[in-house]
Amino acid sequence: MSVTNNLIQIQNQIEKSAQDAARQSKDIHLVAVSKKQSIEHIKAALDAGHRLFGENRVQEAQEHWSDLKSQYPDLQLHLIGPLQTNKVKEAVALFDVIETLDRKKLARALADEMKKQDRPLPCFIQVNTGEEEQKAGIIPAELNDFYNFCADECALDIQGLMCIPPADDPPALHFALLAKFAGELGLKHLSMGMSADFEKAIALGATYIRVGTGVFGARD
């Protein structure tokens, strides 16, 4: 399967899942996750007209996108992996949306850097819905306080929530939980669902789905 065909097929699945959920497919955005993919694959997606991509590491994202960004002014890059505060400067310069805001120190660093660069980027708060030790994200019990800190004290533009469900749990439980939290906070965007489960995520309200292997094939 080619990247072009994969994109068409996923778009069809998005249409169908949206219809089944009585939603509009234009409200569901496909973030093509290009981590560990070849430049050839990335260019194939760009040639097919795709413009929304996700990367989980700042350095790899720079390698993939620094040059292409000037060629494609309508490109949108989402950071979907953990961000260290010493990489905030590079991240704010390169990305258009930060999906992995998950601690106060990072919120402050991002707010300062966005001011400095005059790039007030939309942010998502990553929620560790499964409360897994090793996983990034704010735990649900701290979400309200953290949201207020980000929105009020740091004046960050918080647009939604993001989660990565535990590998061995039914993802729908976590998608439903994330949707409930977003509803309580009045946030309209939900980044949830990957190659294996994006249809369930759409059924539960995803507005951004993050699909890597489904678009590009297996990673290097």
Ligand X SMILES: *Cc1c(COP(=O)(O)O)cnc(C)c1O
CB of residue 33 vs ligand X: minimum separation in angstroms? 4
Is there a contact between 147 and 123 (Cβ–Cβ < 8 Å)?
no
Encoding tokens for residue 24?
A: 């509009």
Three-state secondary structure string covering 56-83: CCHHHHHHHHHHHHHHCCCCEEEECCCC
Question: CB under 6 A: which stretch of 3-11, 57-65, 143-151, 209-217 binds ligand X?
Answer: 209-217
Closer CB to ligand X, 69 or 135, in the complex: 135
Residue of 32, 44, 77, 80 interacting with ligand X (CB under 6 A): 80
CB of 137 to ligand X, least distance (A): 10
The distance of closest approach from Cβ of residue 202 to ligand X in the complex, given in angstroms and rounded to an integer, is 14
Q: Rounded distance, CA 3 to CA 216, Å?
A: 6
Alpha carbon of residue 127 to chain centroid = 12
Please identify which residue in 32, 33, 106, 201 interacts with ligand X, judged by CB under 6 A.
33
**CB-nearest residue to ligand X:** 212
Q: What's the rounded Cα separation, in Å, for the pair 147 and 28?
A: 24
Nearer to ligand X, 36 or 69 (CB): 36
Kindly state whether residue 128 participates in binding ligand X, applying the rule CB under 6 A: no
Q: Which of 216, 176, 206 is nearest to 29 (CA)?
A: 206
Q: How far is CA 129 from the centre of its chain?
A: 15
Only segment of 1-9, 61-69, 106-114, 204-212 that touches ligand X (CB under 6 A)? 204-212
Q: Does 137 bind ligand X (CB under 6 A)?
A: no
Give the alpha-carbon dihedral of 153, 158, 160, 161, to 10 degrees. Answer: -40
- Please pick, from the candidates 10, 14, 35, 110, the single residue that binds ligand X as defined by CB under 6 A: 35
Residue with tokens 């960050």: 156
Residues in contact with ligand X, counted by CB under 6 A, come to a total of: 14
For the CA atoms of the chain, what is the radius of gyration? 17
50 binds ligand X (CB under 6 A): no
Q: Give the interface with ligand X as residue ranges (CB under 6 A).
A: 33, 35, 56, 80-81, 164, 194-196, 210-214
